[in-house]
Amino acid sequence: MEREKAVVDTSVVAKWFLVERHSEEARRLRDSFAKGLLSLAVPSLLFYEALNVLRYTGLYSEDELAEASKALSEYGFDVWTPSGKLQEDTARMSLRYDITVYDASYVALATHLGTTLYSADTELVEKKLAQHISSFSLQS
Q: What is the pLDDT of residue 3?
A: 80
pTM over 0.85: yes
Nearest to 67 by CA among 80, 57, 54, 76: 54
C-alpha R_g of the chain: 15
Instruction: Kindly tell me if the per-residue pLDDT of 140 is higher than 80.
Output: no
Encode pLDDT of 23-49 as tens digits. Answer: 999 999 999 999 999 999 999 999 999
Q: Which of 62, 39, 40, 37 is nearest to 51 (CA)?
A: 62
Contacts of 130 (CB under 8 A, 6+ apart): 9, 106, 107, 110, 116, 117, 118, 119, 121, 124
Q: What is the pLDDT of residue 8?
A: 98
Computed over every residue of the chain, the mean pLDDT equals: 95
Domains of the chain listed by start with CATH number: 4-80+114-135 (3.40.50.1010)
AA letter at 88? E
What average pLDDT does range 48-70 have in this prediction?
97
Query: How large is the average pLDDT for residues 119-139?
Result: 93
Q: Cα separation of 85 and 90, whole Å?
A: 8
pLDDT of residue 138: 73
